[in-house]
Amino acid sequence: MQSEWGHHDRANRSRWAYLSAYRADPSDTPKGAVLVLPEVFGIDPHIKKVTESFAALGYVALAPALFDRVKKNVELGYDEAGLTEGLELKSQVGTGDAIADIQAAVNAVKEVCGLSTYETFRGPRSCEI
């Protein structure tokens, strides 16, 4: 299923960065949460299948669409053209914004386990991510 959330943009704290993600939920109470980071081809059928496989094992699984800042709904082919476009999109997003978006995804899935954004994953309330 598609999911969307927002967080403060790293470059402009007064602006929100909105990201979509592919999310799969387990049929029972979640054991924890897992982030599935896509390759340069975007949220494609392979990434969706991996995400769903973690849900089948009992985890809430979230695959953030890391190219949303520059292009929405990226699903590229596994060919030279797809690789070239994916690498260009990766370059446009940049490492800092990608890390900020990954952290926002971590914060979003932490809520599944009842952790606040500021808590760690140690102790009896730990959540596997």
Task: Find tokens 């980071």 and name the residue.
Answer: 37
How confident is residue 41, by pLDDT bands cut at 50, 70 and 90?
Answer: very high
Distance CA 60, CA 54 (A): 7
72: left (phi > 0), else alpha (psi -120 to 50), else beta? beta
How confident is residue 113, by pLDDT bands cut at 50, 70 and 90?
Answer: low
User: pTM for the complete prediction?
Assistant: 0.77
pLDDT in tens, 70-108: 999 999 999 999 999 999 999 999 999 899 889 888 888
Question: HSE-up of 34 (CA within 13 Å, CB side)?
Answer: 21
pLDDT in tens, 20-38: 889 898 999 888 889 999 9
pLDDT, position 37:
95
CATH T-level assignment (fold) for domain 2-113: Rossmann fold (3.40.50)
